[in-house]
Structure 1
Amino acid sequence: MRRILLLALAVTLVLAGCTEKTKEGGGGKGNGAADDKRPAEVAGIPTATGTHKQKLEVGTPGHREYLLHVPPKLTKGKWRNGKPAKPLPLVLALHGGLSNMNGFRALTGFDKVSNDKGFLVAYPNGFMTTWNAGSCCGAAKLGNIKDVDFLSKLIDKLTGAGLADAKRVYVAGFSNGAGMAYRMACERPDKVAGIGVVEGALVTPCEPGRPVSAMIFHGTADRSVPFNGGGRRDFNDSRGFPPVSYAVDFWRKTGRLPEMRRHVRAEGGAECSSTGKGTRGAEVTFCKIVGGTHSWPAGASRTLWDFFSAHPQG
């Protein structure tokens, strides 16, 4: 009887050892279950579904802040060796002047589109509520704040962590933030697949060296950044803004694209025309909002995402 008990104990120990090996990956499929587990953070970035306030050191006194919205697709997706099996697209959403990351998050509703479609959204904070978009605007311009470097470092952090796809990074902005989106496309076209510009102007020297897809919204009754140009560029700069047609033609010619021909109607009553895709995959779409003022159009966030999703970096 004692011999039978000893034999049963030995068998139990062997089976327990096999089970432990399977848990550690020794007897499981592929990399094993342990390798598929989602970590709470990657490179200090939370991976749980929701919106997280983050800090980014930029090599100067103090730090910069941003909100990062993580959709369920990242949290519940497949993971390998502590990183997503497939990184997600990233949208940088830049607030207008005298606003902030929290206000723009509420204004645009990008979180909901992100949850529905499966992409990351980062809402960075400007410097004293402004962005240095070139010859505009306010404190960021006066302080010569290196916003291009800040946004580039933010992109590098999220792509370097394996969370965001470096070939599918997009910048969307409103007003002063729209001007900053233009500047990113001008100075870091290698990091930006496409931009979405709402009620903004191109007010920075621009030699991108490669085409960037652009979707541009502008209201005909905008008094802050007039549709046909004019107004006042900044509190200490009486020059007017260039007309929206200047930016549309610039990006169209940069991409060696034809005149606008294809007409579509977007959400919110915008009248949109497009060049179609060029030989290098870039496209320019312009959406005129008849009677539209200096505001974020209804449905613009979803329309911008539909455009972005069709234009990965070539």
Structure 2
Amino acid sequence: MDPRHRNRRHQGRVRLWLGLFCALFTQVAAWAAEVTLVQHNQGLDRPVRLVTPDASPGPWPLILALHGAGDDPDGFRAVLNLDGPATAAGFAVAWPVGVNRRWQYASPLLRGPAVPATMPDGAPVDDLAFLEKLVTRLVADGMADPARVFLTGFSVGGLMTVTAGCAAPRRFAAIAVVSAGVSDTQAAACAEGPPLPVLFVSGDGDPTFPWAGFANARGRMLSRPDSQAVFARRNGCGAVGAEDLMDARDATDCHEGVAVRLLRLAGAGHLPMEGTGAIIAGFFSRFRR
């Protein structure tokens, strides 16, 4: 078969799959409240945008959404389009910002915006502590359901999502990683622990974090299938199935109530494809701690 024809057919299946997910959330909440919170950590006040559904009082299931390196919540919100499908499904969404627009997930694989060597309290940036304080506050204030806290992130925010999910698996009911995989250091840290549902959504044309992975002097990022395999082993899955007609690969025979899914977006690059926000909301809707 002509590879160009195969790719067009492949992309058509992905668009159909995305359309089906988007259709589940077409009745977007007509009204949603938005406030800006300030979360103090390590002597620094960090703003957090919080979007909540008006249809019902809290506590709501909560999604924390982490932007990529050099970006900010406004830019990430514009490309991910998560607020509509999330609030329609009853979720609140928190959009925090990294110090100097970057997250301290582990040994950095790529050079990016400079991060202070120390924070005002004299210690290195501790984004794990920041996220934990934010969730604890939202739970204590009656805004977040502690059994339904979720985490997603794009690019370097996706790497931060992996780090936080593995470090605090009992805090998060599930995680979703967009346009990123798992680094070699993260693979070691994530090898064991409580079961954690995971969704990977990536384009196979990503030039920044390639589908096949990459290595440099700073470390190595596993391929997307190998990244999925890290969590399949952690979650006691028996095998990883072949791609289905929707271009998704699911780990099978996992611990009860756990899913490990890899969604390949044919030809997509290093930005979330249209409908990714709806896919994430649909995936998270299945889980609770």
Q: TM-score range by the shorter chain?
A: 0.7 to 0.9
In the other structure, the counterpart of 2:230 is 250
Instruction: Identify the range of structure 1 (200-209 vs 184-193) with the bigger mean alpha-carbon deviation.
Output: 200-209
Distance 2:241 2:219 in 1: 32
In the other structure, the counterpart of 1:115 is 87
* Cα distance change, pair 55–114 in 1 and its aligned pair in 2 (3 A): same
Distance 2:102 2:255 in 1: 36
Distance 2:37 2:283 in 1: 28
1:192 has 2:169 as partner: no
Of 61, 83, 98 in structure 1, the residue corresponding to residue 43 of structure 2 is 61
In the other structure, the counterpart of 2:63 is 91
Contact 2:201 2:262 (C-alpha < 8 Å) held by counterparts: yes
Distance 2:167 2:138 in 1: 19
Gaps in structure 2 of 5+ consecutive residues:
1-30, 119-123
Contact 2:81 2:275 (C-alpha < 8 Å) held by counterparts: no
Q: Percent identity between the aligned chains?
A: 25
- Report SS of the residue matched to 1:286: strand
Per-residue deviation, 1:114? 2.6
Distance 2:253 2:199 in 1: 12
Contact 1:215 1:307 (C-alpha < 8 Å) held by counterparts: yes
Contact 2:161 2:177 (C-alpha < 8 Å) held by counterparts: yes
Per-residue deviation, 1:50? 1.9
Alignment of structure 1 residues 1-314 onto 2, 5 Å: 49-58=32-41, 60-74=42-56, 77=57, 84=58, 87-136=59-108, 138=112, 139-140=114-115, 143=118, 144-203=124-183, 204=186, 205-207=188-190, 209-230=193-214, 232=216, 237-261=217-241, 271-276=247-252, 278-313=254-289
Distance 1:201 1:273 in 2: 15
In the other structure, the counterpart of 1:8 is none
Q: Which amino acid aligns with 2:175?
A: I
RMSD: 2.1
Per-residue deviation, 1:243? 1.6
Per-residue deviation, 1:277? 6.7
Distance 1:66 1:192 in 2: 19
TM-score (norm 1): 0.73
Measured against aligned partners, the alpha-carbon deviations of 1:89-118 in whole angstroms (never above 9, x if no partner) come to 100010001101111122211221133111
Measured against aligned partners, the alpha-carbon deviations of 1:113-163 in whole angstroms (never above 9, x if no partner) come to 133111100000011010011112643495541001101111111112122
In the other structure, the counterpart of 2:5 is none
Per-residue deviation, 1:238? 4.3
- Report SS of the residue matched to 2:240: coil
Higher RCO (C-alpha under 8 Å, 6+ residues apart)? 2
Distance 1:260 1:295 in 2: 26
Per-residue deviation, 1:62? 2.1
Contact 1:172 1:195 (C-alpha < 8 Å) held by counterparts: yes
Contact 1:132 1:141 (C-alpha < 8 Å) held by counterparts: no
Contact 1:134 1:141 (C-alpha < 8 Å) held by counterparts: no
* Cα distance change, pair 298–277 in 1 and its aligned pair in 2 (3 A): farther
Rg larger for: 1
Contact 1:224 1:231 (C-alpha < 8 Å) held by counterparts: no
Q: Which amino acid aligns with 1:214?
A: V
